[in-house]
Structure 1
């Protein structure tokens, strides 16, 4: 386990002020762009970011109770989705018996974003939060890809601010998961704290 990264902590310390500002909540300064934000970080500091997210939830509840937020961990959503479709146990058995590649092939259809994104919206955002915080990207890869999910959510979320905590690098043009796995170009988001 790595010690906390002071530079990362400095960036994390700026998140509360940024996401609770009136400009951020209103989507000011974005033009016609969707309010999707990415907070990228080195994957080896995943535990530091998880700790921070727990802290962030407490700060928002105590000090910014007027801001309705929803923190969504993608692994939990994936589990709930597969369970509600009645295929969770089967998926676990496929992975155990035949491996990751067979599981990926078996879930390609059920996890298509035309199916998963509406579930995500319906089940996770029914309370219509002011801010959506998403984590767990590394936990669901390669079953769910961050750029595919964000693309599917664009037309469904409107201008609601969404912050994706991303274990890798976002250069403003593309995402690189774990600083190793380059995804398709994704340029419709902004860096939350450069």
Structure 2
């Protein structure tokens, strides 16, 4: 099915963004949400998909969630990972920014993608993003992952699940992880920006309908 057809039908009867935020916010507060490995012992991974044009509203709500969490009313800590910022910081640390510009001018974006993924060791079980999350994720955390749209095509959503999250140590198995996805997720298909179909994926659940 074409991506545009999927997204049009998918959003046809969708509730408002604020209603879906309310559903997600309530789920996060429930203790069992943070103590389960998910349905049928699946990992506790979730997707909040949204129309790309609502990006700024989503960012604003995430900031509000974090600010509210800091007030100390909750028995968990919201940890927010902007994948784009993490990658840019790593590239800067390694002096790789100017190199990527030259690589793109000589070989196009795909050469940049290959070089950055090699530098981050994305295909390795102990890749940089795995180490980063392991180091910065405390106990009793709820992890929100943002920036996947800004990363595309350097890092795609299926790679985040399959090459990063699934390689985290076992102690993170019950840690809820919510990926904010600018596009469509049908629990079978990922369509970033409602334009480009990524690899099929079905092991995460939509956190708000």
Return the match for 1:177 from 187, 192, 204: 192
1:23 is displaced (CA, Å) by 1.3
**With structure 1 as the length reference, what TM-score do the two structures score?**
0.86
Corresponding residue of 2:151: 140
**Gap regions ≥5 residues in structure 2:** 1-13
Q: Considering only aligned residues, what root-mean-square deviation do their CA atoms show, in Å?
A: 2.4
**With structure 2 as the length reference, what TM-score do the two structures score?**
0.80
Distance 2:105 2:70 in 1: 40
Show the 5 A alignment for 1:41-190: 41-62=50-71, 64-95=73-104, 99-115=108-124, 118-129=127-138, 130-152=141-163, 153-156=165-168, 157-190=172-205
Relative to structure 1, the CA distance from residue 29 to residue 140 in structure 2 (aligned partners, 3 Å threshold; closer, same or farther) is closer
User: SS of the residue aligned with 1:72?
Assistant: strand
1:97 is displaced (CA, Å) by 6.2
Distance 2:29 2:93 in 1: 34
Show the 5 A alignment for 1:1-80: 7-27=16-36, 30-62=39-71, 64-80=73-89
Distance 2:175 2:203 in 1: 14
**Gap regions ≥5 residues in structure 1:** none
User: Given that residues 113 and 149 in structure 1 are in contact (C-alpha distance below 8 angstroms), is that contact kept between their aligned partners in structure 2?
Assistant: no
Q: How many residues align?
A: 190
User: Given that residues 39 and 166 in structure 1 are in contact (C-alpha distance below 8 angstroms), is that contact kept between their aligned partners in structure 2?
Assistant: yes
User: Given that residues 110 and 116 in structure 1 are in contact (C-alpha distance below 8 angstroms), is that contact kept between their aligned partners in structure 2?
Assistant: no
